[in-house]
Structure 1
Amino acid sequence: MSEDADPESKTEDPSSKRLADAAKQGNIAKSQEISHLFVFMAAALLLWLMGDLMSRRVIGSTLVFFEQPHRIPIDASHLTRLAVDMMLDLGLVVSPVLGVFIVFSLAASIIQNPPMFTPEKIKPDIAKLSPIAGLKRIFSVQGAVEFVKNLIKVCIIGAILFAILVPELDKLEALIELDLSVILPFCITIVLKLLGSLIGIMAVVSVADYLYQRYNFMKQLRMTKQEVKDEHKETEGDPVVKARLRQLRMQRVRKRMMAAVPEASVVITNPTHYAVALKYESGQSEAPIVVAKGVDVLARRIREIATEHKVPIVENPPLARALYKVELDQPIPIDHYRAVAEVISYIMRLKDGHDARYEPKVETVE
């Protein structure tokens, strides 16, 4: 596949194989905005469910520093124990937060694409260290879109922050004189308002960005008509080669059938359109076996070989048409045992020198 082909010549949608190959290399349609949206949702959920608990833990861990700093021992052993206790308390607060963020980040990735392991992404690529390649990515159309998108996001967040904080300016000024137990709940309330507004806007932005990323991804993977033909040849095989192989198989089957006709017990004909050669050896097979069959030209050739080698030829159009459906080297179906038995019985009487006459039964229809 030519990556340098003229973009205007890439008019065909990417095939499933091309999409699968791109996924194996870690090249998938993915919107970072959806990841950001889920992070905001995780933060809002944590603050809403655990805000009070986390604020109480933080206050409990830091209260001694604000209210009774003079009672804190300053020797190394006490300071070490105090630091460890603080880290444990903060760890209990932070660990569920990190867990929720990880779960939401994974969910943001899974809803866009199924999880997969792509070792191609972790292989070192010297081309990625090229300054020229980096500048091309920065000043590309994709880079411009990302810059404009991030600028719009900053403006929106700034506007939301301004709209939320301006009405609260008086309260913010008074926080300096208030206790930590009042400051933290107030801050959590402000942050929840901010996150709620951001989530609503980011939901719209995320959907729009994902649709754009998907469109851009499919556009980059478009194929030329020649690439589609080449891929079809690669996956399905060259039609010319397949036709030649099919022809060779038919020639081998035909040669094998013609070699089997002289050994046949009888040839049942249509009389001109169908010919089916049967072989039956008493005691060696339970039922006659189809060793050759053909229509029109091939049927005529079977009759000619049968005549040359004095193989009996019996006309029974319904039976010939029915037996033609049987696969080569397979015994005849049980439904045709009686009709074929009459044919073989007729042939055996002829071999014994009896003046026999064969009249096909009407009931031997397919």
Structure 2
Amino acid sequence: MADESTEQDDRTEEPTQRKLDQAIEKGEVAKSQEITTLFVLGGFALAAMMTSGFTAERLLEGMTGFFANAHQVSEGAGHLFVMREALVMILIALAAPFGIFLVAGLIGGGIQHRPLWTVEPLTPKLERINPVSGFKRVFGMEALVNFAKGLLKIAIIGALVAAILWAERARIDTLVQMEPSLLFVEVKDLSVKLLGGVLALFFFVAIGDALYQRFSWLKRQRMTRREIKEEFKQTEGSPEVKAKVRQIRIERARRRMMAAVPEATVIVTNPTHYAVALRYERGMPAPVCVAKGVDALALKIREKAREHDVPIVENPPLARALHATVEIDREIPVEHYAAVAEVIGYVLRLKRRRA
């Protein structure tokens, strides 16, 4: 238990969206039972107002004749027939209210979260049969909070119902003397009044419980720093692996670039730092940069160029400008056309002289 408490204390970081999505997929959602109860009570009140007349008529029709002539019904098939007819009337009368209850309960559950299809809550887990975990579930802080919340809810709603009934005590005393047709009307009015008061109070209870359940759920989903690091590695990749992949990509690009140096027309250099390899052939709209580098890479480009007799022209301002503005396998910018044309022209004249 001490280890679990320590682990919970270490969960100081807010959960990531991935953590919340995984909890939802497992069926762990912030759900308030009070919200569902509120909708069920609202459905009951709606059913009482909408179907009370129809329900009362069906109940009276099914039960009045039976009770009025109960002494004349003999045992046997006749008795069973009368009972069956009365039961059918009662079921027909209660079908609409129960249908409204069912729809209200589904709405109360669905309004809190989208429908989920998962078997995770049904999967057997060893911690569920662990006596220590079971003791914590029964006598833990969450259980105590739910117990206190239930007592407080019962006390408040009970006090409200008692206050309403006490104010209607004179009216209630006359119910036993009323005819059945008037009795249903009085009971309906009294029920609607009770339900209205309970719903008004239960609305605030449900909102408060929903906020508490949301807070409690987020608290349970908190993560340790180690969990966040592990999740980052899983989603973004290990920094070591990413660095290795980046290094491999750089090496491959460098090999492709060095392989293109022998095809260059000229290498424009700053003798100590920069080297830019340009390729130009007749019919091309503009020269293309096939390789560039700084310091050690620039030295390798110059060495590769000497091995394949590629002309090297020293022009420090142009070399720096080209290195800063042109990318590999891209045409040089327009502002460098004149300077590069002069260099390439010089190289072509030099080749003609040698020929």
Alignment TM class, shorter chain as reference: 0.7 to 0.9
User: 1:127-149 deviations in whole A, cap 9, x for unaligned?
Assistant: 43556543321111111111111
User: 1:240-261 deviations in whole A, cap 9, x for unaligned?
Assistant: 2222221222122212322321
Give runs of aligned pairs for residues 123-272 of structure 1, distance below 5 A: 123-125=123-125, 127-129=127-129, 133-269=133-269
Give runs of aligned pairs for residues 1-366 of structure 1, distance below 5 A: 5-69=6-70, 76=77, 79-80=80-81, 83=84, 86-87=87-88, 89-125=89-125, 127-129=127-129, 133-269=133-269, 274-279=274-279, 290-314=289-313, 315=315, 321=321, 328=328, 330=329, 332=331, 347-353=347-353
Letter in 1 for 2:21: A
Letter in 1 for 2:218: M
SS at match of 1:42: helix
User: 1:289-316 deviations in whole A, cap 9, x for unaligned?
Assistant: 5432334443343233223322134549
Q: For 1:184 and 1:311, how far apart are their aligned partners in 2?
A: 108
SS at match of 1:6: helix
SS at match of 2:309: coil
Q: TM-score, normalised by structure 1?
A: 0.80
1:333 Cα offset (Å): 7.4
1:317 Cα offset (Å): 5.2
Q: For 1:272 and 1:133, how far apart are their aligned partners in 2?
A: 72
SS at match of 1:7: helix
1:211 Cα offset (Å): 2.0
RMSD: 3.6
SS at match of 1:291: strand
For structure 1, the residue ranges without an aligned partner over 5 or more in a row are 356-366
Q: TM-score, normalised by structure 2?
A: 0.82
Q: For 2:309 and 2:300, how far apart are their aligned partners in 1?
A: 14
Gap change, CA 1:99 and 1:312, over 3 Å in 2: farther
Q: For 1:332 and 1:81, how far apart are their aligned partners in 2?
A: 99
For structure 2, the residue ranges without an aligned partner over 5 or more in a row are none
Letter in 2 for 1:48: M
CA contact (8 A) 2:274 2:319 kept: no
CA contact (8 A) 1:293 1:324 kept: no
User: 1:202-259 deviations in whole A, cap 9, x for unaligned?
Assistant: 1211222222222222222222222222222222222122222212221222123223
Q: For 1:191 and 1:139, how far apart are their aligned partners in 2?
A: 37
Q: For 1:91 and 1:342, how far apart are their aligned partners in 2?
A: 101
Q: For 1:147 and 1:199, how far apart are their aligned partners in 2?
A: 21
Gap change, CA 1:287 and 1:171, over 3 Å in 2: same
Q: For 2:247 and 2:39, how far apart are their aligned partners in 1?
A: 60
Gap change, CA 1:123 and 1:224, over 3 Å in 2: closer
Q: For 1:111 and 1:333, how far apart are their aligned partners in 2?
A: 61
SS at match of 2:186: helix
CA contact (8 A) 2:63 2:86 kept: no
- Percentage identity across paired residues of the two chains: 40
SS at match of 1:36: helix
Letter in 2 for 1:157: I
User: 1:97-147 deviations in whole A, cap 9, x for unaligned?
Assistant: 334333333332333333322221233446435565433211111111111
Q: For 2:319 and 2:96, how far apart are their aligned partners in 1?
A: 80
SS at match of 2:174: helix
Q: For 2:255 and 2:4, how far apart are their aligned partners in 1?
A: 48
How many pairs does the alignment contain? 351
